[in-house]
A and B are shown apart, each in its own frame.
Chain A
Amino acid sequence: MAELLIRNGYVFDPLNGIEGERMDISIRDGKIVEKVSRKARVLDVSGMTVMPGGVDIHSHIAGSKANCARMMRPEDHWRDPEPKTKYTRSGVGHTIPSVFTTGYRYARMGYTTVFEPATPPLKTRHTHEELNDIPIIDKGCFPLLGNNWFVMEYVKQGRIDELAAYVAWMLEATKGYAIKIVNPGGIEAWRWGRNLRHLDDKVPNFDVTPREIVRALCQVNKILNLPHAVHIHPNGLSEPGNYQTTLDTMDCVHDIQRESGPTMHVTHAQFTGRKGWSWADVRSGAPEIADYVNTHDHVSIDMGQLVFTNVTWMTADGPAMFALFKFSKTKWFNADVESETGAGVVSATYKKSNYVNAIQWGIALELALLVKDPWKIYLTTDHPNGGPFTAYPRVISWLVSREARQRVIDKINKTARRRLDLPGIDREYSLHEIATITRAATAKSLGLGCKGQLGAGADADIAIYSIEPRKIDPAKDYKAVRKAFASAAFTVKDGRIVVKNGEVVRSVQGRTFWTKPEVSEGIMKTVTSDLERKFDDYYTVRMANYPIEERYLTSSQAITTRGDV
């Protein structure tokens, strides 16, 4: 019986309403408990901040396109090598770290759960192979369903129950966690060299619209009682004027209410929150989006913060990536069009002097500061699109300190500075709110009751940072905050100390979460007979070989839900 007592820390646990109270946390066998025996090992963290382990809702860390990016960008490897230590393996990569390094770097920042948000269903076996090898952190992946032929056919025929059964089969087959939609219908159009920009454009050959796909999948999400909302990346990514499409996408499901939380999570809202008609007059659409989110409960968003550094753009949105490639004139990789989706990878560098980049930087911060409820907005950089996940501490420093923001505002493009509302926003996040947007709210949104909180029964995933909240003012000492969040004093994973003073001291295996929705046998029979025929006609694999066996996951953790069908 392994016991650990974390003593005298200032605890921030938003889900249990604890805000900076000095208290002890007891751990037994990887779980948080009320009390431990006297024999327990004691970790004295006087003067430090204790938070639940970080939960990242959206970070492209594994899978086919992450690997394409690694192949395409050898320069990313030699620019950032990391030698092996006694406990860790060596690795490389600034924007797309190699598999092991990804786990170590997350753990060093006190993150313990990360979700890969876009995996092509046919290639998810590969995603799981990489996830298996990412050490320390718990993880999961969202299969892409927004451009799937079966989905679009069921939507066209209006067979929502069959669609629900298909999604249930798909989640179990791919060991996926939630429904992900990327550019609904647009990637199908990309196969014909086109794109869909608005919610009511017709998908070629299928006679359905993105609106119908989004609505149907949100209904399915409700029917299956899935733990997370539908995770959606709307049409028209990164095009000027796309904020209207984003608002339409949010509004098209306003009548679908989910009991356990929002119906829809609009991800990396920075990339889909732009006003204007052209690149020259692109403006921030953040006020409108924030206003919508403030007044509606069926939607949550994440930032997709941009950081001025070298990045890799990587998304399943193939057409958007091609458009950006023409803009950036660097390197482009088109992938996954042979599977049920598409993908593009482009290398790029964000510059403060660039007008569009500066506006993008401002949009994400405006979103974070204008959305009043921290339970509705989460911190991400859409790693590696807006910046690598290692930039989170920097983003935190911008959120907690107006002064830190002002330092960047003074250096960005002058026209952008004039056109952004950001310089006039005074709000500063408290450490409690930071704990909300980085762990509590994301865990709640994902429906992971055992994460993001420090109540009895929760997983003992804990991050301890060396800042004393009563002594420092984050708004002034933002550098200390940034430094503390960059290298956790301790990271505890499942009750074991894995990081000490920012260095990994132990490598453990994390779990892979997936959802197993149960539906009635009758409807599953109808759907599987449909599928068998289609697999024989269209797929390169037989249906029996398609599902990923549970034993393929090194440490599998299924979450069973009961569908209403």
Chain B
Amino acid sequence: MTDLVFTPTRQFRIPVTAECISPDFVAGKSLREIELTQVWEGNRRIKLGSLFKVQGEIGRTLDDCTVKITGNVSAVRRIGFEMTGGSIQIDGDAGMYLGERMQGGSITVTGNAGSWLATQMRNGQIEVQGDAGDAIGGSARGGTKGMRGGTITIHGNCGTETGAWMQSGTIRIKGNCDLYAGIHMKNGTIMIERNCAGRVGAQMTGGKIIVLGNVGGVLPSFQFEEIRAKAKVGDEKIPGPFYFFSGDVNEEGKGQVLARVTDNSDLKWNERLIER
């Protein structure tokens, strides 16, 4: 295993778009070639070498290529764009569009990640120790195709529209989640371990959303079905019991929303609807 380390030479005040910071791009290249790569800083073309100090060894094949970034890169967008293998480790905050259209490999972030994390992701793993922004694992604006596979784990909180138009894969959020988790979701699984701000699964047509904390109210277009003893994420069994809703009825959807009974006393009235 060999590491290539990128260290920002200064605090970026203008967004930098750097698709080239990915194992696919650096594999097999020389340090000099990487430093001379042109990236956008705002509306100007600039050499990557003048933004980052690049040191270390470059893996010859993709799989033993590790890109490490030490420092705050919250203004740097599109890191790991379309990467197919290897790994990226960010020791600090990451910017928007991290892992966009990623097809394999892994990304870990010790700080926070920006919005549009793993947009249209196809496969691979992403783990963020801090918080994440809006529309993670979603589609680009206006598009109808969200993430198609892979796993995203957020240890902190995340913003709105998590997993919008999601088609497959798993998103796991250990913290809280803002409005519209799983909006337009088609398939796949979202698990939120703490509370949600509400409107979960709006216009979903398929897939599963599991909320262990308070769900923040279920939309009127969801139908209460039953109380389930447990929920499943892949092979893992999550102990319940859960209120189980299906919807979104407006879209003739077959999505599932599971809210854990213990934290959702406001949904208790649904129990009256169960036939005895």
> What's the least CB distance linking B107 to chain A, in Å?
23
User: Which residues of B129-176 have CB atoms within 8 Å of chain A's CB atoms?
Assistant: 140-144
Q: Which among A74, A75, A77, A78 has the greatest number of chain B C-beta atoms within 10 A?
A: A75
Q: Does A73 contact B (CB under 8 A)?
A: yes
> What's the least CB distance linking B33 to chain A, in Å?
24
> What's the least CB distance linking B12 to chain A, in Å?
23
Instruction: Please name all residues of chain A whose beta carbon is closer than 8 Å to the beta carbon of B143 when the two chains form the complex.
Output: 75
Chain A minimum-CB-distance residue to B140? A78
| Count of A-B contacts judged by CB separation below 8 Å | 16
Q: Does A433 contact B (CB under 8 A)?
A: no
A37 to B144, CA, bound (A): 61
A76 to B144, CA, bound (A): 12
A281 to B164, CA, bound (A): 37
A72 to B141, CA, bound (A): 10
A74 to B116, CA, bound (A): 15
The proximity string for A residues 320-333 relative to B, scoring 1 for CB distances below 8 Å and 0 otherwise, is 00000000001000
A78 to B142, CA, bound (A): 9
A74 to B142, CA, bound (A): 5
Instruction: Please name all residues of chain B whose beta carbon is closer than 8 Å to the beta carbon of A75 when the two chains form the complex.
Output: 140-144
Instruction: Please name all residues of chain B whose beta carbon is closer than 8 Å to the beta carbon of A76 when the two chains form the complex.
Output: 142
The proximity string for A residues 77-108 relative to B, scoring 1 for CB distances below 8 Å and 0 otherwise, is 11000000000000000000000000000000
Chain B minimum-CB-distance residue to A78? B140
A73 to B141, CA, bound (A): 8
Instruction: Please name all residues of chain B whose beta carbon is closer than 8 Å to the beta carbon of A72 when the two chains form the complex.
Output: 142
A21 to B88, CA, bound (A): 65
User: Which residues of A59-81 have CB atoms within 8 Å of chain B's CB atoms?
Assistant: 72-78
Instruction: Please name all residues of chain B whose beta carbon is closer than 8 Å to the beta carbon of A330 when the two chains form the complex.
Output: 144
Q: Which among B140, B142, B144 has the greatest number of chain A C-beta atoms within 10 A?
A: B142
Interface size class of B (residues with CB under 8 A): under 10
Instruction: Please name all residues of chain B whose beta carbon is closer than 8 Å to the beta carbon of A73 when the two chains form the complex.
Output: 142
User: Which residues of B182-224 have CB atoms within 8 Å of chain A's CB atoms?
Assistant: none
Overall SS of chain B's interface: loop
Chain B minimum-CB-distance residue to A75? B142
Instruction: Please name all residues of chain B whose beta carbon is closer than 8 Å to the beta carbon of A74 when the two chains form the complex.
Output: 140-142
Overall SS of chain A's interface: helix
A72 to B144, CA, bound (A): 13
A302 to B241, CA, bound (A): 64
A73 to B142, CA, bound (A): 6
> What's the least CB distance linking A69 to chain B, in Å?
11
> What's the least CB distance linking A350 to chain B, in Å?
16
Chain A minimum-CB-distance residue to B141? A74
A4 to B142, CA, bound (A): 47
Instruction: Please name all residues of chain A whose beta carbon is closer than 8 Å to the beta carbon of B140 when the two chains form the complex.
Output: 74-75, 78
> What's the least CB distance linking A84 to chain B, in Å?
10
Instruction: Please name all residues of chain B whose beta carbon is closer than 8 Å to the beta carbon of A77 when the two chains form the complex.
Output: 142
A76 to B142, CA, bound (A): 8
A78 to B143, CA, bound (A): 10
> What's the least CB distance linking A518 to chain B, in Å?
48
> What's the least CB distance linking A95 to chain B, in Å?
12
A449 to B258, CA, bound (A): 70
User: Which residues of A285-343 have CB atoms within 8 Å of chain B's CB atoms?
Assistant: 330
A444 to B98, CA, bound (A): 56
A74 to B138, CA, bound (A): 15
Chain A minimum-CB-distance residue to B139? A75
> What's the least CB distance linking B37 to chain A, in Å?
19
Instruction: Please name all residues of chain A whose beta carbon is closer than 8 Å to the beta carbon of B144 when the two chains form the complex.
Output: 75, 330
Chain A minimum-CB-distance residue to B251? A329
A76 to B143, CA, bound (A): 9
> What's the least CB distance linking A376 to chain B, in Å?
40
> What's the least CB distance linking B166 to chain A, in Å?
17
Instruction: Please name all residues of chain A whose beta carbon is closer than 8 Å to the beta carbon of B142 when the two chains form the complex.
Output: 72-78
> What's the least CB distance linking B53 to chain A, in Å?
30
A72 to B143, CA, bound (A): 11
A76 to B140, CA, bound (A): 11
> What's the least CB distance linking B165 to chain A, in Å?
11
> What's the least CB distance linking A305 to chain B, in Å?
26
A77 to B140, CA, bound (A): 11
A75 to B119, CA, bound (A): 14
A186 to B26, CA, bound (A): 61
Chain A minimum-CB-distance residue to B145? A75
A15 to B142, CA, bound (A): 46
A475 to B144, CA, bound (A): 40
Chain B minimum-CB-distance residue to A74? B142
> What's the least CB distance linking A333 to chain B, in Å?
12
A330 to B165, CA, bound (A): 13
Chain B minimum-CB-distance residue to A76? B142
A78 to B119, CA, bound (A): 14
A75 to B143, CA, bound (A): 5
A75 to B142, CA, bound (A): 5
A72 to B142, CA, bound (A): 8
Instruction: Please name all residues of chain A whose beta carbon is closer than 8 Å to the beta carbon of B141 when the two chains form the complex.
Output: 74-75, 78
A140 to B248, CA, bound (A): 46
A271 to B144, CA, bound (A): 27
Instruction: Please name all residues of chain B whose beta carbon is closer than 8 Å to the beta carbon of A78 when the two chains form the complex.
Output: 140-142
> What's the least CB distance linking A407 to chain B, in Å?
29
A309 to B8, CA, bound (A): 44
Chain B minimum-CB-distance residue to A330? B144
A78 to B100, CA, bound (A): 14
Chain B minimum-CB-distance residue to A331? B142
Chain B minimum-CB-distance residue to A71? B142
A73 to B144, CA, bound (A): 11
A74 to B141, CA, bound (A): 6
> What's the least CB distance linking B82 to chain A, in Å?
15
> What's the least CB distance linking A409 to chain B, in Å?
30
A74 to B140, CA, bound (A): 9
> What's the least CB distance linking A326 to chain B, in Å?
13
> What's the least CB distance linking B38 to chain A, in Å?
14
> What's the least CB distance linking A199 to chain B, in Å?
37
> What's the least CB distance linking A80 to chain B, in Å?
12
> What's the least CB distance linking A259 to chain B, in Å?
49
> What's the least CB distance linking A16 to chain B, in Å?
48
A77 to B142, CA, bound (A): 9
A330 to B142, CA, bound (A): 11
> What's the least CB distance linking A117 to chain B, in Å?
26
A72 to B140, CA, bound (A): 14
A330 to B145, CA, bound (A): 13
A176 to B14, CA, bound (A): 46
A107 to B144, CA, bound (A): 33
> What's the least CB distance linking A348 to chain B, in Å?
12
The proximity string for A residues 263-291 relative to B, scoring 1 for CB distances below 8 Å and 0 otherwise, is 00000000000000000000000000000
> What's the least CB distance linking A468 to chain B, in Å?
41
> What's the least CB distance linking A67 to chain B, in Å?
15
Chain A minimum-CB-distance residue to B252? A329
A404 to B191, CA, bound (A): 52
A36 to B143, CA, bound (A): 55
User: Which residues of A154-202 have CB atoms within 8 Å of chain B's CB atoms?
Assistant: none
Which residues on B are within 8 Å of A, measured CB to CB?
140-144
Contacts beyond the supplied A73-B142, A74-B142, A78-B140: 12 A-B pairs with Cβ under 8 Å: A72-B142, A74-B141, A75-B140, A75-B141, A75-B142, A75-B143, A75-B144, A76-B142, A77-B142, A78-B141, A78-B142, A330-B144
Which residues on A are within 8 Å of B, measured CB to CB?
72-78, 330
A-B contact pairs, 16 of them (CB 8 A): A72-B142, A73-B142, A74-B140, A74-B141, A74-B142, A75-B140, A75-B141, A75-B142, A75-B143, A75-B144, A76-B142, A77-B142, A78-B140, A78-B141, A78-B142, A330-B144
Counting from the closest, the 3 A-B pairs by CB-CB distance are: A75-B142, A74-B142, A74-B141
